[in-house]
Amino acid sequence: MAFCLSCGTGIDEYDSGYYARNMLCIPCYNQKISEVPMVSCNRCGMRIKRSEARERHSDFHCSYCFSEEERQAAIPTCPICNKRVESWQESAKSSKGSLAHLPCLRDGLHSAGHGAGPGVGGSPEESKTHQRTLIRNIIGRIGAFLT
């Protein structure tokens, strides 16, 4: 004679599903499978099955909030105002190589105030000396050719 592990009810000999139900009677088994652990989404508070919850930074998220947060995280942050640079906003690469708002970059250059702005492709002085050495090289080569 077998007994239900949960409530101790005798299981009929002909009940072949007893072991498949983890040695529970039918009512106990049905109760057990309906007890799905639930968690609530950390973002919108929706109740979701633990098995279906997505974990993000050790918080549970419903699948909608999870993909929303993923999307948000993928959007670059303006290093000047620390706000998201949305795709519809005017933006440009900042000197650090990260995407920044175009207005923020302009303001940043104005407020910097002291001399050359940060890294706008080298100062004009530098490129002038570079040109000079180039010309000197060419003249040198022509001279060598003539002698």
| Binding stretches for Zn ion (CB under 5 A) | 4, 6-7, 9, 25, 28, 41, 43-44, 46, 62, 65, 78, 80-81, 101, 104
Which CB sits closer to Zn ion, 10 or 122? 10
Max CA pair span of the chain: 116
Distance CA 69, CA 47 (A): 18
- Least distance (Å) from Zn ion to the CB of residue 30? 10
Residue that has been written with the tokens 């529970």 in this structure: 24
- Least distance (Å) from Zn ion to the CB of residue 85? 7
Which CB sits closer to Zn ion, 39 or 78? 78
Which CB sits closer to Zn ion, 111 or 129? 111
Tell me the β-bridge partners of 54. 61
- Least distance (Å) from Zn ion to the CB of residue 116? 21
Which CB sits closer to Zn ion, 18 or 131? 18
Q: What is the DSSP string of 81-130?
A: T--B--TTS-EEE-TTSSEEEHHHHHHHHHHH-SSS-TTSSS-HHHHHHH
- Least distance (Å) from Zn ion to the CB of residue 102? 9
**Contact between residue 40 and residue 62 where contact means Cβ atoms under 8 Å apart:** no
